[in-house]
Amino acid sequence: MSIDILNLLGSKLGNIHIRNPLDVISISQKGITKSALVRLCKILSLDQNEMAELASLSTRTFQRYDDNKKLSPIISENIIQITQVIRLGLNVFGDRYALIKWLNSPNKALGQKKPMELLKFRTGSELVRNLLGQIQYGFI
């Protein structure tokens, strides 16, 4: 992962090291800030409406939050999972723009759904992560 991406993730997301599922729970309970989500969405080139949808919030609610507002544990957990997908995707594709293109293209293995559409769901993030793993190891 390039330094540029680590800077965009910021210390809150860039330093997340998940050793086991309990780490995800612990970090989620503390909450990820709105600013961490904004940095993640910059990596994905998402606008405010798409960002709010990814976080399962209304655009208006998202706009009202200040940058240091801690998001709920459920939203925080989803952001952590999306961060893991992004890291894996950058390793697989080696390029942010190739990853963005792949995330926004219908995929036969996902029932012609775009991977980006699935990221707002925990199960969807797992499906996308599994598919990236298959691509990484040459199964697809």
Q: pLDDT tens for residues 26-63?
A: 888 888 889 888 888 888 899 989 988 988 889 999 89
pTM of the predicted structure, to 2 decimals: 0.82
The answer for residues whose C-beta is within 8 angstroms of residue 42's C-beta and 6 or more apart is 8
Q: Look-up: residue for tokens 């999306």?
A: 82
Kindly state the tokens that stand for 23.
Answer: 């780490």
15 neighbors 52 (Cβ within 8 angstroms): no
Task: Dump pLDDT digits (tens) for 31-40.
Answer: 888 988 888 8
Task: Tell me the C-alpha to C-alpha distance, in Å, between residue 90 and each of 60, 74, 86.
Answer: 31, 24, 6
Residue extents of the structural domains in the chain = 3-136
Nearest to 128 by CA among 83, 97, 64, 67: 83
The first and second tokens of residue 34, run together, are 């709105």
